[in-house]
Structure 1
Amino acid sequence: MAISRRTFLTAAAATSALALLPLDSTGAQASASAAGLPLGSLPLGSLPAGANAGARLTNLAHLRFLLAEVPVVASATHTTFGIDVSPRVLAPWTYADTDGAGGYRPVGGGTRDAVTGSWTQGAYNADDIARAAVVFLREWKATGDAQARDEARDVLRSLAFLQTTSGPNAGRVVLWQQEDGTLNPSAIPVELPDPSDSAESYWLARTVWAFGEGYAAFRREDAEFTAFLLSRLHLALDALGRESLSRAGQWVRSDGRDLPAWLIAGGADATAEAMLGLAAATEAGDARSRQALQTYGEGVAAMATVPAKGWPFGAVLPWTGSLGFWHAWGAAAPEALARAGALLRRREWTAAAVADAGTFTPQVLASGGPHNAWAPLPAEAQIAYGAHGRVAAAVQAASVGGEGLRVLAGLAAGWFFGANTAGVPVYDPATGVTFDGVETDGRVNRNSGAESTIHGLLTMLLLDANRDIARIATSITGLSSFSGLRVIDAEGARLSAGCVVVRPEGGAWTGEGNLSGGAYVRVPAGESVEFDVTEADGILHGLVWRQAADAGEAVWEVFRGRRRLWSSRTPAGGTGERGLTEADGMLVPQLLGGDLPGEPVTVRCTSTGDVRLDALMIQPAVANAVYSTTSGAAVLYANGTRRDQRVAVLAPGAGRAYEADGSQRGQAVGGGKVRVRGGGFTITQ
């Protein structure tokens, strides 16, 4: 079950003490056994490629363990295909906690009433049901497995039952369902929209994804079921037509910038997942899906950013509510744009996808992996949902870009096999278990709920279909080191006498992003803050919490000793009307320009008005990540500048230099140095 965007950064972690522990090899083997499923000859700490290079990585055992038979009864507003003949459907439990004995126990959302057995949210939810259907569909189409086909059918039937069929909410979807099949439209705690079928939502977008892929998959298999799925897909489009699709071509204001008003639930994240289903249905010949895909693609593409302008380095922003917030979960925008752009022949869409995959993803990997949030600085835990998004983006972008993106996809997929903050595999191909995540301090959440399981399997399906990428991913055993973004908090720098450190009572969250260190420095006119920077050849970004009204400027000066090398100015205010955002102003790193020499410097920020200074962000000219592998090491070098660079070799090996679009540009190593193209990346192994 995916946490909502609104609550993501402010929700407290609700992780059991049993699950969140440092992981040793004994604990790994014990916790990876799903409900008594044997680990066999492949312990979790081993690499599947080393054990059997030809074996498939995809294993549906744990997802099947999560499936439950759910009784359903038709009503005036909820029914499903074949309910009279088969009044039971399949749905995955939302969570699965370790049971302390080497297995797992299914868990619902919220707390359970000891008398009624009902959960305050529910046992099953539409988000996970929809995505589980996609897994079974893709497994069936990849292997011809009849069991996966039948499971896909019954999970799609389950999803259809959650869709409201008549009345003012027709086409929308109820999120939660109890074990006895009862629907729970209003969960506790409250989730928006409330009731959950009263407006469009993430779960409606994911329903479109599942119905679209289901329609395409069953089109030549079962005419009656195909017609049912198409009718339900169109019913969902009817609902979207009353909301987001009806606003096509309209714009909303977000901190002075015009953004598309026709994104589902205000996000490129939810919209992109719907686009995956619409693309599948379009390929299968549905004209109505093609029209919706065209409309939504325009909106998602409008959320793209330009790599040369600095943060967020070419990423597609997920949310119209903040210009300074990107999250790894739900980041399907580049995958959707690459697929839809190729299908509809929209080069600007595929270009946006390639920029996200080829420029932003290397920065993500060099900053330690797919941290759940860049708000605007990378932080939070790492989960399978986010890791899968980076892999899928690179794989799909490679279909319209160069082969270097496939190599990059292999490095990103290495997260599942040890290239994470814990340094251990989090997916076990012997059981199909994917752990629920790893914390920034290396603790592992050994639970294995539906969402983690699903996105682990979606990644493995990609690897099984692309064995060259799988060979890279499964050769990785850990993340040895990385050198990416670094931050110096303003409150830890040298402050002139008139500066004041402010720690907001509400905490670090501003309504659009997180203050680094939970504080900022108020710098009145004429006052200054000085930072000592030791990185050679870095790229500087000033992080000022800008105000809506004019507030003067931050004057940035770079000194080597007493000599000023260069200066730059950035606005301290002037963001304009907040529009639909939750707070005035915005917290977005601003590229300062200029080059840093290969020796320590002092960076001074002087205020001409009222500067709220959060931090100085330093991006290496060439960031890197070093991976341990079964044969030695692999190294990613990511060039943040526009000019070619030659840097020291970090580990022995050969490889290729690539442009940001993945196209090859010669050998990686020459003259004892590694060549990295301007704006591109190099990978050696």
Structure 2
Amino acid sequence: MRPPHKTAFRRGLATIAVAATATAIAIAGQLPASATDASTARNASAGASTGQPAAAPKLTNLAHLNWLLDSVPLLSGVPGHTTYNQASEPTATAPWVYANRNADGTFTHVGGGSITDAAKGYYSQGSFDADDISRSAVVYLRDWAQNHTASSKQHAYELLRELTYLQTSSGPNAGNVVLWQQHDGTLNPSAIPIEQPNPSDSAESFWLARTVWALGEGYAGFKSADPAFAQFLQQRMDLALGSLDHQSLAKYGTTEIANGVKVPGWMIVNSAGATSEAVLGLSAYVKAAPGDQAAATALARYAEGIDLMTSGGIGKWPFGAILPEENSPTFWHAWAGMEPAALSKAASVLNRSDYQKTAAIDTAQFTAQLLATGGPVNGWTPTPADQTQIAYGVDSRVEGLIAVADATNASGLAQLAGVQAAWYFGANPAGVPVYDPATGVCVDGINSDKTINHNCGAESSIHTELSMLALDAHPDVSRIATSLNRTTATDGLTVVEAESGTLKGSATIVTPPSAWTGSANWSGGKYVQAGAGDTITLTLPPLQGAHRILPIADLGNTSGSGTTQWTASAGARTTNLGSSANTTDAPQGIAPTTVYLQPQTLPGTAPDGTTTLTAHVGGAVNLDAVMVQPVVSHLGLAGTNTTRDVYVNGTDQRVRQHLSAAGPVTVQRFDRFGQSVGGPEMLGSHAAITVEAGGFTVVSSR
């Protein structure tokens, strides 16, 4: 599942739409629901002839992705578009963008957009795109390297030839990439609706970043197996880096201001998400070609930019996450969330332990909190507003956790990777498996209402199989993931809308024309405008345990002034929680709006049993909402014969936590970087555990 207009999402749309439904004719064949990769069957029965215990069946199954692939003509005479051995090999391979599920369980190939020419089978966007071609190549390259699959080597070769055909090789746009292509090979540089850049090869883009990803891993894969082809890929990498040198890399060392926050000015399309995918390729390439100083410099500079996008910290939104967009300090999205994986890979190549630390903070602190809050939803804006979950977001978390775990021996991150990957096998909001290892079929996502989009397009299939390859390469992580099939508890961030409170004084509810500000969401689509002396009292369900309180006001409000004092009431007891700012000196800079919805963590803690919060306004404020964060958040998962609970400490102090689960249980403590603290402990029923400052504790039973 992908946003129907990818560039619109990167400009700041707060929601990712469910993949477009079928309005198209069936250009290609249909995949039987029972299609099974032969290697899966072989793995399942491997022990029968040897007398040895059978290894766990491989989870990777490329059958559905194979079916998405189609032959595409490499048209000659198109200015600026040639590829390797084009004259002798006039066709290549590309995956269809979408696959809609039919009532009988088969699938139909579908292109992007609407049908514009039924006779030719043309779509307003196209049948194939560079985004999916590049990432499909990565899947096959990794499968070839890991499983030595001959067919994957051939698919990778054909996909890379097709991808480099889309790369413009001469003229003013040399190095950039055309995004869309029709099934007969015709390029569509200006899709409908218009995407930026337009034409799609007129500037750097997400698809150029992903081309660098595929070229880097492709060069590393073919360097020894096919030196001539690897040399061609190296030439195309040089072409891509030459283009980037004149665009984002030309701004290296510059900074921008977004709502008062200083950010690096040299990200690809101003996005750490896009830059991260290029860094994945550059890390693989520089490791395989250590003498290429230009590539090493590009890798170092882009990695530095990603590192500078870390934000918040223990107890402070967004809890150490690497934010994806230069123009918004209040927007995190799971889509294209490869930042921690990429930074960790780059850190290993560049020998930068500081970058590895940043990636560890994102994975151990932010990702742990994300999981306890319900998982990798599409958007925290800054509240967890877009509850849709897709394989891209899940895979990004899994790959980041595993990359840092591998690089730093952080066993806690390997545990979290297994917990996150259990999403595919039923531990998700819908409560059902969304990937079938017997067929390679996944789903395009779980909607915010917990219904499932049963289509299975290229992006979903790609990122699902990237996760499965990672799990197959890490059996301990795989065992955790496949043993858990349901969620038993999520107790993380919750949101209380300001407009739901009891207002006293002149406070009024305001409904802006749009909930989306351009870089964040007004939570619930409304806010409260209040002045000096007003009060806003919010009712909570009685809090179980202590909680941190994070008010959200528009700090960019030029009419704002003063501060707001907060108190918590639990029965007759009132606790002073401290104050939050009503406004701040936050220059808009490159942010699309002056509205600045930054959560602020109050210094005090709401005690156990709190039922109301009261805001005592001094000055003028536009109050949006309050986020309520347990001092210890909790994620519970279970399987047929096991349970696994993760307790996440949102403070900088150790916390004791009482368990209600029956024993015996195994308890493992991890610090704020995911490193083990002491050995596993065996505890009985209703025991108390310790959760390290900013860290997490895993409690498991069998």
Per the normalisation by structure 2, the TM-score is 0.91
Counterpart position of 1:623: 633
> Structure 1 CA distance, aligned partners of 2:383 and 2:681?
30
Q: After superposition, where does 1:123-522 map in structure 2 within 5 Å?
A: 123-285=127-289, 286-308=292-314, 310-378=316-384, 379-398=386-405, 399-506=407-514, 508-522=515-529
> Structure 2 CA distance, aligned partners of 1:42 and 1:525?
70
Deviations 1:202-254 (A, max 9, x none): 00000000000000110001111011000001100011011100000001111
Give the secondary structure class of the aligned counterpart of 2:245: helix
- Contact 2:568–2:577 (CA<8 Å) still a contact in 1? no
CA distance change for structure 1 residues 41 and 491 in 2, over 3 Å: closer, same or farther? Answer: farther
CA distance change for structure 1 residues 248 and 550 in 2, over 3 Å: closer, same or farther? Answer: farther
Give the secondary structure class of the aligned counterpart of 1:495: strand
Amino acid at match of 2:477: I
- Contact 2:175–2:240 (CA<8 Å) still a contact in 1? yes
1:54 is aligned, of 49, 53, 56, to 56
The alpha carbon displacement at 1:609 in A equals 2.5
CA distance change for structure 1 residues 551 and 52 in 2, over 3 Å: closer, same or farther? Answer: farther
> Structure 2 CA distance, aligned partners of 1:256 and 1:309?
21
1:104 is aligned, of 100, 107, 114, to 107
Counterpart position of 1:23: none
Residue 658 (structure 1) aligned with residue 656 (structure 2): no
- Contact 2:13–2:518 (CA<8 Å) still a contact in 1? no
> Structure 1 CA distance, aligned partners of 2:223 and 2:83?
18
- Contact 1:60–1:457 (CA<8 Å) still a contact in 2? yes
1:579 is aligned, of 581, 585, 589, to 589
Residue 588 (structure 1) aligned with residue 598 (structure 2): yes
- What is the aligned-residue identity percentage? 41
> Structure 2 CA distance, aligned partners of 1:229 and 1:576?
45
Amino acid at match of 1:663: Q
Residue 648 (structure 1) aligned with residue 653 (structure 2): no
> Structure 1 CA distance, aligned partners of 2:600 and 2:190?
42
Deviations 1:356-402 (A, max 9, x none): 00001111111111111111111331000000011111111112252
Residue 80 (structure 1) aligned with residue 83 (structure 2): yes
Counterpart position of 1:675: 690
Give the secondary structure class of the aligned counterpart of 1:638: strand
Amino acid at match of 1:603: L
The alpha carbon displacement at 1:82 in A equals 0.6
CA distance change for structure 1 residues 607 and 445 in 2, over 3 Å: closer, same or farther? Answer: same
> Structure 2 CA distance, aligned partners of 1:365 and 1:108?
33
> Structure 1 CA distance, aligned partners of 2:164 and 2:244?
16
- Contact 2:92–2:158 (CA<8 Å) still a contact in 1? yes
> Structure 1 CA distance, aligned partners of 2:400 and 2:355?
13
1:118 is aligned, of 119, 122, 147, to 122
Counterpart position of 1:554: 563
Give the secondary structure class of the aligned counterpart of 1:382: coil
Residue 6 (structure 1) aligned with residue 11 (structure 2): yes
**Which one is further off, 290-299 or 68-77?**
68-77
Counterpart position of 1:63: 65
**Which one is further off, 282-291 or 359-368?**
282-291
CA distance change for structure 1 residues 112 and 638 in 2, over 3 Å: closer, same or farther? Answer: same
CA distance change for structure 1 residues 433 and 7 in 2, over 3 Å: closer, same or farther? Answer: farther
Deviations 1:61-106 (A, max 9, x none): 0000000000012322101101000110100000000122211001
> Structure 1 CA distance, aligned partners of 2:577 and 2:414?
40
Give the secondary structure class of the aligned counterpart of 2:119: coil
The alpha carbon displacement at 1:42 in A equals 14
Counterpart position of 1:544: 553
Give the secondary structure class of the aligned counterpart of 1:371: coil
Gaps of 5+ in 2: 24-29, 46-52
- Contact 2:131–2:210 (CA<8 Å) still a contact in 1? yes
The alpha carbon displacement at 1:115 in A equals 3.5
The alpha carbon displacement at 1:493 in A equals 0.8
Amino acid at match of 1:581: A
The alpha carbon displacement at 1:54 in A equals 1.8
The alpha carbon displacement at 1:121 in A equals 0.3
> Structure 2 CA distance, aligned partners of 1:256 and 1:548?
13
**Which one is further off, 668-677 or 283-292?**
668-677
- Contact 1:640–1:679 (CA<8 Å) still a contact in 2? yes
> Structure 2 CA distance, aligned partners of 1:565 and 1:36?
59
> Structure 1 CA distance, aligned partners of 2:584 and 2:504?
25
Amino acid at match of 1:645: V
CA distance change for structure 1 residues 520 and 270 in 2, over 3 Å: closer, same or farther? Answer: same
> Structure 2 CA distance, aligned partners of 1:169 and 1:12?
31
CA distance change for structure 1 residues 606 and 53 in 2, over 3 Å: closer, same or farther? Answer: farther
- Contact 1:548–1:577 (CA<8 Å) still a contact in 2? no
- Contact 1:417–1:425 (CA<8 Å) still a contact in 2? yes
Counterpart position of 1:524: 531
CA distance change for structure 1 residues 354 and 324 in 2, over 3 Å: closer, same or farther? Answer: same
Residue 94 (structure 1) aligned with residue 97 (structure 2): yes
The alpha carbon displacement at 1:673 in A equals 1.4
**Which one is further off, 350-359 or 252-261?**
252-261
Per the normalisation by structure 1, the TM-score is 0.93
- Contact 1:69–1:90 (CA<8 Å) still a contact in 2? yes
**Which one is further off, 152-161 or 629-638?**
629-638
CA distance change for structure 1 residues 12 and 356 in 2, over 3 Å: closer, same or farther? Answer: closer
> Structure 1 CA distance, aligned partners of 2:38 and 2:615?
59
> Structure 1 CA distance, aligned partners of 2:585 and 2:261?
8
**Which one is further off, 182-191 or 649-658?**
649-658
Amino acid at match of 1:6: R
Amino acid at match of 2:11: R
> Structure 2 CA distance, aligned partners of 1:648 and 1:323?
36
2:576 is aligned, of 556, 566, 574, to 566
CA distance change for structure 1 residues 306 and 501 in 2, over 3 Å: closer, same or farther? Answer: closer
Give the secondary structure class of the aligned counterpart of 1:543: strand
Aligned residues: 666
> Structure 1 CA distance, aligned partners of 2:632 and 2:639?
22
> Structure 1 CA distance, aligned partners of 2:399 and 2:517?
31
Amino acid at match of 1:126: A
The alpha carbon displacement at 1:574 in A equals 2.3
- Contact 2:37–2:61 (CA<8 Å) still a contact in 1? no
Deviations 1:391-427 (A, max 9, x none): 1111111122521111111001111111111011111
- Contact 2:37–2:62 (CA<8 Å) still a contact in 1? no
CA distance change for structure 1 residues 431 and 543 in 2, over 3 Å: closer, same or farther? Answer: same
The alpha carbon displacement at 1:625 in A equals 1.0
- Contact 1:141–1:217 (CA<8 Å) still a contact in 2? yes
